[in-house]
Structure 1
Amino acid sequence: MGAAPAAAVDGGTRVAPGVRYERFDVAAVGGPTRVHVLRIDVSDPRVRLDLLYPGTVAARATVSSLADGAGAVAGVNGDFFNITEVQHPGVEATGASSGPAIAAGRALKGAVPDAQRFGPALPPGTSARDVIGVGDDRRARLDRLTLDGTVRTPGGALPLGGLNQYALPEGSVGAFTSAWGGASRVRATCGTDTDRAAPCSTDTYEVTVRGGRVVSASGTPGGGPIGAGTTVLVGREAGAQRLRKLSEGEPVRVGHRLVASASRVPYRFAVGGYPVLVDGRPLPGLSDATAAVRTAAGVFRGGRGLLLLAVDGAPAYRSGLTVAELADVMRQLGSADAFSLDGGGSSALVAREPGAARVTVRNHPADGTERPVPNGIGVFSTT
């Protein structure tokens, strides 16, 4: 069942040229729901979009602090993330996001295996590799980014199973760079390709490569910041066995990139989540069972426009939207394609008041205060 037509609460406010803030009330199945919306003219040369993040993958900060720190005029929270590790006692949650991430044209990380992601169950046919992003052609689009990487050693080439990820596929080797941060890499070897809660692997190995050569090794994954020009390779099961064959001083080269399935245009930024609307039609199998506070992004005008939405978490509007209703509301507001981002206590939409130097949170966070998150979508203006 879809939501009733959205009713505008006011006439909206211009945040910056090409960026407008609006509010709507929706009669959802569970009760009244208010949504906060940013309409962005992506084609406007005065507008730029990029990933908001704290400078490393395994770190978190509030959307408002990320926006102010980067000089953004508006933004929303981004991907689902490794928020807790109750299934793995003694293992710390990394705070890293589940899906791929690109910032300022630079690939930060790949996607964890589908079963290892946090958040609600994925709709049929979708993947943790799904993203929404904006390319160098200034067009917004939905896509899927797959890691393509290789570790070249004297004994042969190894496929790279992960890049700065809190979970690696079974039997693989993952690369961690300075972009990861200082969080422990132990979590990367926990769970399996089918069960996030499965025990951590007992067969692990770690190799540090600096200047193109092996400089150290360890039987267990470590932690702490990784220096520029250094790559730490973490292997589990078969991947660990391959890494054990490397000796100190041996030459090793690591290469990686994120390959898009739909676009040949490089991405300026991309963030993970999952699609809910494609070509104006809700994806089959979207859940209509649980209403919640949610965040979403939508594409309109053939990618020349981007719509960012966050549900209000105030008690008067806490009924929220089901995933099926979210797709319907995004369609009503003009999106041809729409993408669900993290919700609940993570949902936050921020924007500057006219003439203000800092952003304010426009929706009421469901937890009463902003939750630190690993990333978000930032809206920048050159004016």
Structure 2
Amino acid sequence: MRTAVAVCAAWAALVGGGTAWADDGGPARALRLGVRTALAPGVGYQEFSLPASHGPARGHLLTVDLREPRVSLDLLYPGAVAARAPVSRLADGRGAVGAVNGDFFNITEAQHPGVEPTGAPVGPAVAGGRPLKAAVPDGQRFGPAMPPGVTAEEVLAVGADRRARLDRLTLEGVVLTGRGALRLRGFNQYALPVGGVGAFTSRWGAASRVRATCGTDTDRAAPCSTRTYEVTVRRGRVVAAAAKPGGGPVAAGSVVLVGREAGARELRRLRVGDRVRVTERLRSAGRTPPRFAVGGFPVLRHDVPLDGLDTRTSAVRTSAGAGDGGRRLYLLALDGAAEYRSGLTVGELAAVMREVGADDAVNLDGGGSSTLVTRAAGDTRARVRNHPSGGAERPVPNGIGVFTRP
């Protein structure tokens, strides 16, 4: 673990808008780490505090040694993409020894009267090696502005090699019909690209699919499209069609195709009984597909903070990072108690993740979503370690779970 002697000097550079790191001064030991408590072999918990640009900050840190063969990671989610539950409940349901909240999500729809928010996350998600969803268009994101060159496809992932890494997961899919092939532009996501066709499976859940046709690629608040069409495919044949997207669960073995604008026009050419085959996959920018992945935008890459990080807006935040060649994972959530609610800027968050040992790190959902829980040996329920800034846990669509086996 790195020493913290340069943290305050780094703060000055970051708050000033740069990304330089200083190692030659500044108040020593700005980052104060508490006593580490072992939760399980390879898994430790500790608190920390530090002075930040907007006031004192306090946080909670899980350190996970992926070299320990009994330790593993996976995505926590409530059984459907478009559903939410508190982190503690998600952890209890899987028996996780530790967890933090995950991706930003579709939390409000004030701009679209009559349209309910889906609660679905922004970025790609992979659980147990199974792709659950792809990323929405960048302009349809919820959350703070991303650094230049970053997209909603960014994830923190762990592959079969048990190494944590930054990755980018791009949807590759096709709808094969007797009249030709259509490019698949969405997969279990709350927003489709303009003119696109998206697929919804039983993993989506019961939320309405209307939201997928609202907004544009650059404006989340733009009106919902009036040119839409929906087709239900079961056992490789079209069994139903509708002029507007519907809601309710998608039956296992079925796929609902939703199109907008040009995509709707293509779907209207299909007839009940037509043969249709839908394929989709998330292509990794890395060498191996992930066994686990959660959406979040990078703030630290190869031990260097990204250019363009926000150094002005301070908030309660959650982060996940990898160090030691991906063999060590750091899960961090800030405390939202009143005396610490000023939190950190994104630039300061990158500095903290670097100081605790991460070489790569992502910013996850924050504010009222920031939650870190632990479960000691013998306990049946997880304990919330931080104070959620809303006064109670906010239901979230997913999280990162830490597991250990005897």
Q: TM exceeds 0.5?
A: yes
Residue 9 of structure 1, CA deviation: 4.8
Q: Which structure 1 segments of 5+ residues have no match?
A: none
**Deviations, residues 96-118 of structure 1 (Å, cap 9, x unaligned):** 00000000000000000000010
2:92 corresponding residue in structure 1: 68
Shift of the alpha carbon at 1:127? 0.5
- Partner Cα separation in structure 2 for residue 49 and residue 324 of structure 1: 27
Matched, 1:297 2:324: no
Normalising by structure 1, we get a TM-score of 0.98
Partner in structure 1 of residue 273 of structure 2 = 249
Alignment-mate amino acid for residue 41 of structure 2? P
Q: Where does 1:205-216 land on structure 2 (aligned, <5 Å)?
A: 205-216=229-240
What's the offset of the Cα at 1:357? 2.1
Q: Deviations over 1:331-376 (max 9, x none)?
A: 1111101110000000000001343222101011000100000000
Which residue is 2:228 aligned to?
204
What CA deviation, in whole Å up to 9, does each residue of 1:259-283 have, x standing for no partner? 011x121211100010000111100
The alignment status of 1:353 with 2:376, answered yes or no, reads yes
Look up the equivalent residue of 2:249 and give its one-letter code: P
Say whether the 8 Å CA contact 1:132–1:339 is kept in structure 2: yes
Checking the alignment, whether the CA contact within 8 Å between 1:2 and 1:324 is kept in structure 2 is no
Q: For 1:99 and 1:2, how far apart are their aligned partners in 2?
A: 30
Question: Which of 205, 208, 224 is the matching residue for 1:181?
Answer: 205
Paired residue for 1:319? 342
Equivalent residue for 2:75? Answer: 51
> Structure 2 counterpart of 1:72, which letter?
A
The one-letter amino acid paired with 1:248 is V
How far the C-alpha of 1:43 sits from its partner, in A, is 2.0
SS for the counterpart of 2:233 is: strand
Alpha-carbon offset, residue 122 of structure 1? 1.1
> In the TM superposition, what are the counterparts of 1:1-383 in structure 2 within 5 Å?
2-3=10-11, 5-261=29-285, 263-383=286-406
- Do the aligned partners of 1:14 and 1:354 also contact (CA within 8 Å) in 2? no
Distance 1:240 1:38 in 2: 46
Letter in 1 for 2:121: S
CA-to-partner distance for each residue in 1:50-73, whole Å, 9 max, x for gaps? 000000000000000000001111
Conserved 8 A contact 1:6-1:329: no
Identical-residue share of aligned pairs (%): 66
Name the SS for the 2:90 alignment partner: helix
Structure 2 residue ranges without an equivalent (≥5): 1-8, 12-26
- Judge conservation of contact 1:133–1:270 (CA < 8 Å) in 2: yes
Question: For residues 150 and 249 of structure 1, what CA distance do their matches in structure 2 show?
Answer: 19
Distance 1:353 1:6, change over 3 A: farther
Could you tell me which amino acid in structure 2 is paired with residue 189 of structure 1?
A: T
SS, match of residue 47 in structure 2: strand
Question: Which whole-Å deviations, capped at 9, do the CAs of 1:35-54 have from their partners, x for residues lacking one?
Answer: 10000011211001000000
1:299 positional shift: 0.5
Task: Tell me the SS of whatever aligns to 2:325.
Answer: helix
Q: Deviations over 1:115-156 (max 9, x none)?
A: 001001111111100000110110100010000000000000
Moved over 6 A (4+): none
Give the C-alpha shift of residue 319 in structure 1: 1.8
Task: Tell me the secondary structure at the aligned position of residue 363 of structure 1.
Answer: coil
Contact 1:6 1:24 (C-alpha < 8 Å) held by counterparts: no
Letter of the 1:130 counterpart: E
Residue 11 of structure 1 deviates from its aligned partner by: 1.3
**C-alpha displacement of 1:2:** 3.6
Number of equivalent positions: 382
Q: Which moved more, 1:346-355 or 1:153-162?
A: 346-355
Letter in structure 1 aligned against 2:62: L
**Residue pair 2:32, 2:50 contacting (<8 A) in 1 also:** no
Counterpart CA distance in 1 for 2:34 and 2:139 is 42
The CA distance in 2 between the partners of 1:181 and 1:319, in whole Å, is 36
AA aligned opposite 2:374:
A
SS of residue in 2 equivalent to 1:240 = helix
**CA drift at 1:316:** 1.6
Distance 2:30 2:147 in 1: 24
